[in-house]
Amino acid sequence: MAGTYGVRNAAALLSLLPQAVSEAKTLYLSYSRRLIQLTERLFESRLPVSIERETSVGYSLRGSPDFARTVQEQARGTGRVVSREISFSIITPVTRLLAVFHRVLAVKLRLLAEDFELDDNRLERQFEYHGEVRHERLPSEVVGNAVAANIPSSDEIERMQASQFAAVRELVRLWLGFQQDKGIELDWQDRFDTAVKPVQRVYELWCLERIISILERSLGESEPKDSTRLPVPKRYDFPGDVTLFYDRSVRSIDGVSSSRHVGPDFRKPNAQVGKPDFLLAKDKRPVWVADAKFQTAESIDTSGLYRFLGYMIDFLAPGEGTAALLCAAGTPVRPQVSIEHRDTAVIATMSDVTAAEGRIEQSLQDTLDCV
> For 42-93, how does the pLDDT look when each residue is reduced to its tens digit (9 = 90+)?
887 777 665 566 677 777 777 677 777 777 877 787 878 777 765 556 778 8
The predicted pLDDT at position 347 comes to 92
Burial of 354: CB neighbours in 10 Å, binned 0-12, 13-18, 19+: exposed
Q: Please give the C-alpha separations between residue 315 and each of 89, 94, 278, in angstroms, as whole numbers.
A: 39, 37, 12
Query: The pTM is what?
Result: 0.50
> For 307-337, how does the pLDDT look when each residue is reduced to its tens digit (9 = 90+)?
999 999 888 988 888 999 999 988 888 888 8
Residue ranges for the chain with pLDDT beneath 70 = 1-26, 48-54, 63, 85-89, 114-122, 181-198, 226-231, 264, 267-272, 371
The predicted pLDDT at position 87 comes to 56
